[in-house]
Amino acid sequence: MHRTSNGSHATGGNLPDVASHYPVAYEQTLDGTVGFVIDEMTPERATASVEVTDTLRQRWGLVHGGAYCALAEMLATEATVAVVHEKGMMAVGQSNHTSFFRPVKEGHVRAEAVRIHAGSTTC
């Protein structure tokens, strides 16, 4: 399960309680291991963040490009789950293209997902 920035579980508030449907506990996933946090979740927009630690850095001290990709993938998937779970559907990523604007060395990395499509089988 994802935790909100205040440390509480986000189920029932930001995310649907689908923990029983997941075969792997959040804490054991990549998302949980590196500390991804969903900060906001609505049907149209979601935000997430992660604190920059050595776990996220590559050898030059910058955030590893894969961390950005993983954060984007997690956020897009969970934002879609929040919309489709009640319909008996699941969500997984179909495509992930990442462009880098500037390197990050410290602080937090923040991500925003905005729904641009809502089809009958894809969101």
Active site residues: 73
**Type of residue found at 99:** S
**Type of residue found at 76:** A
